[in-house]
Amino acid sequence: MQIFDSASKKIHTFNSTEKGNSRQDYHSVLLARTGNTSLVDMNGLVNNQHLPLIDRALRGYFMMNRANRMGTQEQFVVRLGGILSSAKMRSILVGLRNVTIIFPNLEDYRASSADLYRALSSPQQGLSVDGTYFCVGATKVMHMLFPELFVMVDKNVGSACGYSPGQYNNFRAYWKVMMICHNELKAWTNKYGSINGLLRLDPLPTSITRVFDKCATVTR
C-alpha cells in the first residue's frame, strides 16, 4: 500500500494543516444522505434541494469557480439538474446507487462511470459555462453524489498516483486512480480484516473515498 501507508499520521496531518474555506459546505453534502450510500433515490433522481448544496461546496470548499466557470448558482444548478434528469442518466444513476469502491466487481461499473464522467466534464454540454472541460470538478460532483464510490482527482491526488499536472484530466486516468484506491482497500482488508479501522481514523462525517483523498493529498 502506498496511499494508505501510515494512514493515521496522514489523516492527522491533513486535518491539522488544511486551510481555506470552511468544510461545513462539503460536510452538509455528506450529511444530506441521511444514512444512505448516495444522494440518488430508487428512481434515479437527486432531490432538487441537494443540488444547491453541491453548488455551494464546489464554490466554497473546493474553489471550483475560478474565472466564473460555473456561472451563477442558478445557471449551475439548472445545468447539473438537466444532465442528471435525462432518461439515460437516471438509468445510470440507479445502477450506481448502492455501489461502493470496495465492490469486488468494480470493473463492471466502468462503462456507466465513464458516461457520467463525460457528461459532467464535457466542454459543450457539461457543467462549465465557458466551453472548457470540467474534469476535476466532475470528479468532485461524482464524489458528492456517490461518496462511497467515487474518488476525487485533482493535482495533489494525481501526483500521488503518478500523474504529471493535467495528465489526470481524462476518464482513463480517472479510472486508474479509482482502481488504485480499490486495490489498496483490498490489500488493507486482507491485512486487517475490514476497512472499519481505517474509517475510524477520520472524524465524521466522512467516507472511505474521502479518507483516500486525504491520504493521497499528503502522500504527494
Half-sphere exposure of residue 153: CA atoms within 13 angstroms, side-chain side = 31
Residue 2 lies in a domain: no
Residue 156 lies in a domain: yes
Residue 37 lies in a domain: yes
Q: Which among 112, 123, 118, 114 has a CA at the least distance from the CA of 90?
A: 112
Residue 173, number of CB atoms within 10 A of its CB? 18
Confidence (pLDDT) at 129: 92
Confidence (pLDDT) at 18: 72
Confidence (pLDDT) at 19: 63
Sequence-distant (6+) residues with CB within 8 A of 219 are: 2, 3, 10, 160
Confidence (pLDDT) at 1: 84
Reported residue count of the chain is: 220
In the structure, how many helices (H) and strands (E) does the chain have?
11, 0
Please provide residue 185's backbone torsions phi and psi, each rounded to the nearest 5 degrees.
Answer: -65, -35
Q: How many domains does the chain have?
A: 1
Residue 1 lies in a domain: no
Q: Which domain holds residue 205?
A: 7-219
Residue 143 lies in a domain: yes
Residue 17 lies in a domain: yes
Confidence (pLDDT) at 21: 65
What is the distance, to the nearest Å, from the Cα of residue 191 to the centroid of all Cα atoms in its chain?
26
* Mean pLDDT, each 10-residue run in order, the chain (220 residues): 95 83 90 96 96 97 94 97 97 98 98 98 93 96 98 97 95 98 97 96 96 94
